[in-house]
Amino acid sequence: MVTKRGSGHRIAGKTFVFLAIVLSLLSPAPTWATELPAKQILDSVVKLDAEIPRSTRTAAHLGTKREGHAVVIDSEGLALTIGYLILEATAVRLTGADGRPVPASIVAYDHNTGFGLLRALRPLGVKPIRLGDSSRAVANTPVLVAGHGGAMNAVPVRVVSRRDFAGYWEYLLEKAIFTSPPFPGFGGAALIDDRGQLIGIGSLVVGDAAAKDTYSPGNMFIPINALKPIMGDLISEGRSTGPHHPWIGVYTEEARGRLFVNRLAKEGPARAAGIREGDIIVSVNDQPVAGQMDFYRKLWTRGGPDVTVEITVLTEKSGLATYSVAATDRYKWLQFSRGN
Q: What integer is the mean pLDDT of 85-105?
A: 97
Q: What integer is the mean pLDDT of 103-129?
A: 97
Four-way CATH pick for 1-242: 3.40.470.10, 3.10.310.10, 3.90.78.10, 2.40.10.120: 2.40.10.120
Parallel, antiparallel, or unpaired: how do β-strands 218-223 and 198-206 relate? antiparallel
pLDDT at 262 over 50: yes
pLDDT attached to residue 252: 98
Residue pair 110/240 in contact by the 8 Å Cβ criterion: yes
Residue pair 255/249 in contact by the 8 Å Cβ criterion: no
| Reported confidence tier of residue 317, pLDDT bands at 50, 70, 90 | confident
Domain spans of the chain? 1-242, 250-333
Residue pair 54/61 in contact by the 8 Å Cβ criterion: no
Q: What integer is the mean pLDDT of 113-122?
A: 98
Average pLDDT, the chain: 90
DSSP H stretches of helix in 127-253:
231-237
| Reported confidence tier of residue 280, pLDDT bands at 50, 70, 90 | very high
The partner residues of 309 in beta bridges, in order of sequence, read 325
CATH for the stretch 250-333: 2.30.42.10
pLDDT attached to residue 327: 97
Residue pair 329/109 in contact by the 8 Å Cβ criterion: no
Give 82's contacts (C-beta < 8 A, 6+ positions apart). Answer: 68, 114, 115, 116, 187, 188, 201, 202, 203, 222
Parallel, antiparallel, or unpaired: how do β-strands 258-264 and 250-255 relate? antiparallel
Q: How far is CA 102 from CA 148, 203, 304, in A?
A: 14, 23, 38
Cα separation of 96 and 202, whole Å? Answer: 18
pLDDT at 303 over 90: no
Q: How far is CA 14 from CA 36, 41, 198, in A?
A: 6, 11, 18
DSSP notation for 46-89: EEEEEE--TTSTTHHHH-SEEEEEEEE-STT-EEEEEGGGTTT-
pLDDT per residue as tens digits for the range 169-212: 999 999 999 999 999 999 999 999 999 999 999 999 999 999 98
pLDDT at 314 over 80: yes
- E strand or H helix that includes residue 333: helix 330-333
Residue pair 327/308 in contact by the 8 Å Cβ criterion: yes
pLDDT attached to residue 316: 86
Cα separation of 182 and 291, whole Å? Answer: 26
Domains 1-242 and 250-333 belong to one CATH topology: no
pLDDT per residue as tens digits for the range 133-167: 999 999 999 999 999 999 999 999 999 999 999 99
Q: How far is CA 267 from CA 41, 88, 172, 272, in A?
A: 44, 17, 23, 7
Residue pair 89/66 in contact by the 8 Å Cβ criterion: yes
DSSP notation for 10-29: ---TTS-HHHHHHHHTT-SS
Residue pair 1/21 in contact by the 8 Å Cβ criterion: no
Residue type, 152: M
**With pLDDT > 70 as the criterion, what percentage of the chain qualifies?**
88
Residue type, 100: R
pLDDT per residue as tens digits for the range 4-34: 333 333 333 333 444 554 544 444 434 444 5
Cα separation of 81 and 192, whole Å? Answer: 14
pLDDT attached to residue 338: 67
